[in-house]
């Protein structure tokens, strides 16, 4: 059992630190799994890691360039699109603000000691939703140029 544990430990270490894993058997028949080929032992290759190194997996600058035939938009058209986007987000913000005010008004009208909490909970949830939407819309507006 001890040899099995050592073998598994070596297996885990070998894969983590090298790109080749060997199974080496000594003259007595004991097997050892390692990332180093042992001398005076019968060693066979169990696996060879052929994956690229982490540094090689990063895209090169040439790979991230925009292709020459990629469609381009003039700065004037882009400014118009940005302006349209800003107007849309501002309209959505105004709508959300109105919806929030209506939900708060609805809660105020129904909020009395006789109203059960299960009736008020959907209204409170709606208020929270409109508040979250407003926060996200404000965040979106702050990102626009």
Q: What is the pLDDT of residues 98-136, one digit of tens each?
A: 999 999 999 999 888 888 888 899 999 999 999 999 999
How far is the C-alpha of 117 from the C-alpha of 81, rounded, in Å?
Answer: 46
Question: Quick one: average pLDDT of 43-62?
Answer: 68
- 25 φ, ψ to 5°? -120, 130
Tell me what pLDDT residue 15 has: 41
The confidence score (pLDDT) of residue 27 equals 81
Which of residues 124 and 58 earns the better pLDDT score?
Answer: 124
pTM for the predicted model, two decimal places:
0.50
* Number of other CB atoms surrounding residue 134 within 10 Å: 16
Q: What is the pLDDT of residue 5?
A: 47
* Average pLDDT value over all residues in the chain: 80
91/99 Cα distance (integer angstroms): 12
């Amino acid at each position: 059992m001890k040899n099995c544990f050592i073998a598994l430990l070596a297996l885990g270490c070998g894969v983590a630190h090298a790109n080749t894993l060997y199974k080496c058997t000594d003259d007595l028949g004991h097997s050892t799994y390692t990332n180093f080929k042992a001398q005076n032992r019968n060693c066979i290759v169990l696996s060879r890691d052929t994956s690229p190194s982490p540094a090689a997996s990063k895209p090169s600058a040439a790979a991230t360039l925009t292709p020459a035939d990629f469609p381009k938009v003039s700065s004037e058209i882009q400014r118009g699109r940005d302006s349209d986007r800003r107007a849309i987000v501002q309209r959505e913000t105004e709508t959300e603000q109105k919806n929030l005010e209506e939900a708060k008004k609805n809660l105020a009208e129904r909020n009395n000691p006789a109203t059960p909490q299960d009736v008020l909970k959907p209204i409170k949830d709606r208020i929270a939703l409109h508040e979250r939407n407003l926060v996200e819309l404000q965040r979106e507006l702050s990102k626009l140029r």
